[in-house]
A and B are shown apart, each in its own frame.
Chain A
């Protein structure tokens, strides 16, 4: 079964540094999403992306965050200047259509030191 793949599985970064989390959505999917899960807390929506633009974003997704689909297969989340509170598991998801269930990757654990 096709799946969403995320790399790396674990990223350790110094506070203030830029980090890019990478995702390869399922190939025929058109809608892309990022979520995060701070340890012990619920999974929170960050941003959705369709037709090469952000379609919706949460209040968490401030100017430090950006997303990009640089080619036909990758979908990236960039955090420009990381803070300690950015430490979390970040999940990428994709869906074939907006109304279809989202398929999630295994996540990238981001640790900010």
Chain B
């Protein structure tokens, strides 16, 4: 079956630091890959996506590249802000069927001034 593994948190960074959150996946087919973000007290928001190998998803300064050879989709941001403090979920959905989303366990990011 499908599964997503992402680095354990919490991750604490100073403002303007470089962020990497690692994510690897296992899938039976050729999945689409996502990063969702959950700000405190809010729901899940789609941050970025990539649907095929070597695609780079980007949004709000965050980027992730679909690496089929290493089955990875690491999230990066060059300079984090306090407002980026949230829980980040790596996820995938199978292109077949009704595309249920399989989530990783989430990584809590705390950015301190």
Taking beta carbons and an 8 Å cutoff, which residues of A are in contact with B? 4, 6, 31, 33, 35, 41-45, 48, 50, 55-56, 58, 91, 93, 95, 98-99, 101-107
Cβ–Cβ contact B89 & A43, under 8 A: yes
Q: A31-B98, A56-B98 are in contact. Are A101 and B49 (CB under 8 A)?
A: yes
Contact partner of A45 among B36, B45, B100, CB < 8 A? B100
Contact A103 B99 (CB under 8 A): no
Measured CB to CB, the nearest residue on chain B to A6 is B43
Chain A interface main SS type: strand
**How many Cβ-Cβ contacts under 8 Å join chain A to chain B?**
62
A102-B97 CB under 8 A given contacts A43-B89, A91-B44, A107-B43: no
The interface centre, meaning the residue of B32, B42, B101, B104 with most chain A CB atoms within 10 A of its CB, is B101
Verify if B73 is at the interface (C-beta below 8 Å from A): no
Q: Is the CB of B101 within 8 A of A102?
A: yes
On whether the beta carbons of A103 and B46 are closer than 8 Å, the reply is yes
Structural contact, A55 and B43, CB atoms closer than 8 A:
no
Seen from chain B, the residues whose Cβ lies within 8 Å of a Cβ on chain A are: 32, 34, 36, 42-46, 49, 89, 93, 95, 97-106
Instruction: Enumerate chain A residues within 8 angstroms of B44, measured Cβ to Cβ.
Output: 43, 91, 93, 104, 107
Nearest B residue to A107, CB-CB = B43
The reply to whether B99 and A98 form a contact with Cβ atoms under 8 Å apart is yes
The one of A42, A98, A102 that contacts B105, using a Cβ cutoff of 8 Å = A42
Asked if A48 contacts B100 (CB within 8 A), the reply is yes
With a CB–CB cut-off of 8 A, which chain B residues contact A106?
42-43
| A43-B87 Cα distance, complex, nearest whole Å | 12
20 new A-B contacts, CB < 8 A, other than A43-B101, A103-B46, are A31-B98, A42-B89, A42-B106, A44-B103, A45-B100, A45-B101, A48-B100, A50-B98, A55-B98, A56-B97, A91-B44, A98-B97, A98-B98, A99-B32, A102-B99, A102-B101, A104-B43, A105-B43, A106-B43, A107-B43
